[in-house]
Structure formats: C-alpha cells, structure tokens
Amino acid sequence: MRRGFTLIELLVVIAIIAILAGILFPVFAQAKESAKKTACLSNLKQIGTATFLYMGDNDDVLPNATFSPAGAQREGGWMYYETFPASEATRREDGFDAKRGSLYPYVKSAEIFVCPTDGKARISGNSYALNGCLTTPVEFGIAAGKSTTGLDEVTQWLMFGEEVWDDDQEDLSASFLSQSSTPDGFLLYPVKYLSTRHGGGGNATFVDGHAKWFRAEAILTRHFLTGGEDLAGCP
C-alpha cells in the first residue's frame, strides 16, 4: 500500500524550494545584468568604430555635437534630439533621433545607441554622450569636433560614455550616484557625471579604440575626460 506525503514532509519540501529560489534568483538576476553590461559595452565599441569611419572621411576630425536647450532641433551633431532634456521624453519622437545624427550612416542601427539597462533610453532613444572636452564650442548649442591628430595619450581620452543628469536635484553632485540617462548626448565637463547603472560603474570607449567598464569615480580620479591630466576644465 502506497503512503502519501505527510503535511510535515510537504512543508519541508516547500521550505527547501524556497531556500533554493532565494539563492538562485539573485544569481540569475546578476547573470542577466552581466549580459546587459556586455551588450552595452559592445554598443560603445561599435559607436567607437563608427566614429573612426566617420573621421576617416573627415580628415581625422571628430563629429560635432549639439548640447543644452539651444541644441534641441539642431542638425549637424553626432546625435539629434527634439527636446531638452531628451532623457525625460515620454515618447520616442520627443527624444533622440539617431537617424538624423552624423554617425548613423556608419552603424545603420538605432538600437546600438540604447543601453539595455537604461530604462529611460528605451523611450528617449540614446544612452551615450560624447566627451565635451573633445569639442570646441562654435556657438551656444553646438560644438565642433576636434582633430585627433593633436591629442596626446589617446589611450587616456574618453570619447563616449554613459552619462547621467538629474535636473531636479539641488545638489548636482548627487547625479554622480544616479542611474538616470543623458539629456543631450554631450558630456559637459566638469558639470555632468557618469552612470553607476552597471554595478556601480559604466562603460566607455576611448580615442584609441578600446572600450572598457570603469567605476564612475575612476573616470574622474584618473582624469579620462581631460586626457589623463588633472585640470579644472577642458584643455
């Protein structure tokens, strides 16, 4: 005669399943985020490659960038945006339009500009920002890309990174701990900050072509926005 499970035995089995779930679910979540971080890093690597192709057609000069409210609806930047801050757009048509940016012909995929972990960018259309220190302001709202032939230590120059910006915070330095998104695709040193969305840090691609994950504070302490030099502003 077969004997069924007792209530105690069923409770023990349920408890074991609950313990295993508690152990495995965080592992699965961590593995999923690791995959997203890797996909994001791949995006930046491809953006870096597209930039090199662009420079090959433009005498080694980096792409222009539009920035701030004055840069909204202005053509000619590496990334176009309709409103500022584009990161707060509630519809894709009010945010970024990668297809109207100067790098798009070299990638032909708008999704490359969206980090899988960046929830805002899934609506706005862009997670990444060009280092403003690699441009020269022409007028308020647009900046011309610099020539890379005049740069020393290209391994120390961050080209694109994951920017964050929280306009509603009185203490702008609090943005440093944010997982928000870029408002205009322009990393304005030393006002803007790098994302901590990937385990306390973010991805970046450099002028020499390599891409890597860094803790956000390492980007600042190693002075990657200013070519490895400790400067109060852009050189």
Residues 6+ apart with CB under 8 A from 95: 81, 82, 83, 86, 87, 89, 123, 124, 125, 126
Q: Are strands 128-131 and 186-187 parallel, antiparallel or unpaired?
A: parallel
How much is the mean pLDDT over the chain? 87
Q: Is the pLDDT of residue 15 over 80?
A: no
Q: Which amino acid is at 55?
A: M
User: First vs last Cα of the chain: how many Å apart?
Assistant: 86
Q: What is the DSSP string of 170-231?
A: SSGGGGGG-----SSSEE-TTT-EE--TBTTEEEEEETTS-EEEEEHHHHHHTTGGGTT---
Q: Does the pLDDT of residue 170 top 60, yes or no? A: no
pLDDT of residue 172 exceeding 80, the answer is no
Domains of the chain, by residue range, sit at: 9-226
Per-residue pLDDT band at 62 (split at 50, 70, 90): very high
pLDDT at 8: 73
Spatial contact of 77 and 137, defined as CB atoms under 8 Å apart: no
Question: Which band of pLDDT confidence, cut at 50, 70 and 90, is reported for residue 168?
Answer: low
Average pLDDT (87-96) is: 94
The pLDDT assigned to 5 comes to 60
67 and 138 in contact (C-beta within 8 Å)? no
